[in-house]
Structure 1
């Protein structure tokens, strides 16, 4: 039983190994930029959560930066996909007989950056929505208590 379990664990790469493989497969430059955007968005979300009761301009600045970085990550992903599709079509244009499996593999690679950029965009936008919602309810609670 233990041998079976250890063989299964060593055969399947871990989450971070698979993530690293996908980042490498999707284009290291674009995927690294999207990953850096994702980490900065996480930092800004934490900072905005800490400043949820602070002055309005600090909170709004954090939310604005989150939204802008999320959009940049999405645009980087889509731009990378367009470049990848152009490269795929150029490569297949030079071939006489195109293998469908090779074409599918090229399309899969071209979809990795927009998928990761879209995930980063959704994470940033949902986070800013939740933070605005928390702030709004917090401000509403404070204004009703002052009367």
Structure 2
């Protein structure tokens, strides 16, 4: 695996707010791990599929919670300091969008895992 890619990934995770993006990364690994485990060992009771469902949905909501809290903090800072240049505003909005994008990716990966497990049955 390319170490440059890993460096860029962790830079994005830090840039998007580690409080929200690192748990999202763990949820991503959980969804992938549970999907692979379900394929290898089987999921007769459907509990693993339910867990993937709940983890992926939680990741989506967690990402949007991160965005909302980040935007509230940004707007507080803007209101306290007055006018802000468009460049700084655009940079702040980019950072605010990283958390929900990670959440959506985890959600989609989890849903693809659920679909593939459903088709397997």
Place the TM-score, normalised by the shorter chain, in its bin: over 0.9
Among candidates 45, 50, 57, match of residue 71 of structure 1: 57
Tell me the matched-pair count.
119
Q: Which of the pair has the greater relative contact order for Cα pairs under 8 Å at 6+ separation?
A: 2
Say if 2:48 is the partner of 1:32.
Answer: no
**Structure 1 vs Structure 2 CA RMSD:** 1.3
Deviation of the 1:14 alpha carbon? 1.5
* CA–CA distance in structure 2, aligned partners of residues 115 and 30 of structure 1: 11
* Structure number with bigger Rg: 1
Q: Where does residue 18 of structure 1 map in the other structure?
A: 8
Post-superposition Cα deviations, 1:80-115, rounded to whole Å, max 9, x if no partner, equal 000000011111111222100000000000000100
Unpaired segments ≥5 residues, structure 1: 1-12, 136-147
Give the TM-score normalised by the residue count of structure 2. Answer: 0.93
Whole-angstrom distance in 1 between the partners of 2:8 and 2:35: 26
State the Cα distance separating 1:127 from its structure 2 match: 1.1
TM-score normalized by the length of structure 1: 0.77
Query: Which portions of structure 1, spanning 4 or more consecutive aligned residues, are displaced by more than 6 angstroms?
Result: none
